[in-house]
Chains A and B, each alone.
Chain A
């Protein structure tokens, strides 16, 4: 549970609060639980909700705008994309020491609305409809945000993927 909270709020003390609150929610909600879903799935949802509440309270300042991180097209509606000369595999990239830290810090720097969707869908592996429900947005909105988040992350990771040091 701690790992889930830490991934969402990115701060140790805050993550601990979330887990404590989540446990309180778990106690309160146990009577209504009734084995509908697996306990772990249910508890996972509760921690996620606590994490989201904590983030809402803790307004983050100066985020990068997602528009600056989206792919570019020219006037012919053709993509502008520099050629990739050597493409390294994720496996070989992961073998390098800094890769994981760079990736985690780039994910942390994504605008929050997008970062949360990416975390819930791609990392916590929740379904599109579950994410839509949790965030109270439409499924098509989840999909749009997920794709933009991934595109933005791709752009942020380009120096790493192209083997440039930064």
Chain B
């Protein structure tokens, strides 16, 4: 399945990620959510983006992760009632009626 060349490249990748300011792919995985929510301190953000530059696998993975999230949001978006369309008037009327009741 994998040529010796590809195997060697992967091993080099693995070694590269041991250098200072480098993280492995599984460490990268643990930072994704915080990165997308802009919750990473500057240094970790730099480390994350550096990994993204040197790692084709994580770049592809993150792009597909974002696309599928976008699709999930879009698939629900044309739902007839978004959370904001609650019948505010109706509830206000009910509140008023209850108050009148005592």
Please, how many angstroms separate the alpha-carbon atoms of A50 and B81 in the complex? 17
* Docked-complex contact B67 and A122, CB < 8 angstroms: no
Within 8 A of B (CB), among A88-125: 88-90, 93-94, 99-100, 103-104, 107, 118, 122-125
Question: Secondary structure at chain B's binding surface: helix, strand, loop or mixed?
Answer: helix
Max count, chain A CB within 10 A of own CB: residue among B11, B65, B72, B78? B72
Max count, chain B CB within 10 A of own CB: residue among A3, A78, A107, A146? A78
Please, how many angstroms separate the alpha-carbon atoms of A154 and B70 in the complex? 10
* Cβ-neighbour of B33 out of A3, A31, A79, A143 (below 8 A): A143
Which A residues lie within 8 Å of B25 (CB)? 73, 77-79
The 6 closest A-B pairs by CB, nearest first: A76-B14, A40-B86, A79-B25, A90-B70, A3-B81, A77-B24
Q: How large is the interface on A (under 10, 10 to 19, 20 to 34, 35 or more residues)?
A: 35 or more
With A1-B81, A30-B95, A71-B61 known to touch, is A78 a contact of B71 (CB < 8 Å)?
no
Please, how many angstroms separate the alpha-carbon atoms of A2 and B60 in the complex? 37
Within 8 A of B (CB), among A19-45: 26-27, 30-31, 33, 39-40, 43-44
A13 at interface by CB-CB < 8 Å:
no
Please, how many angstroms separate the alpha-carbon atoms of A124 and B73 in the complex? 10
B21 at interface by CB-CB < 8 Å:
no
Within 8 A of A (CB), among B43-93: 55-58, 60-61, 63-65, 67-76, 78-88, 91-92
With A79-B58, A87-B63 known to touch, is A104 a contact of B33 (CB < 8 Å)?
no
Within 8 A of A (CB), among B11-30: 11, 13-15, 17, 24-29
**Which residue of chain A has the shortest Cβ distance to B33 in the bound complex?**
A147
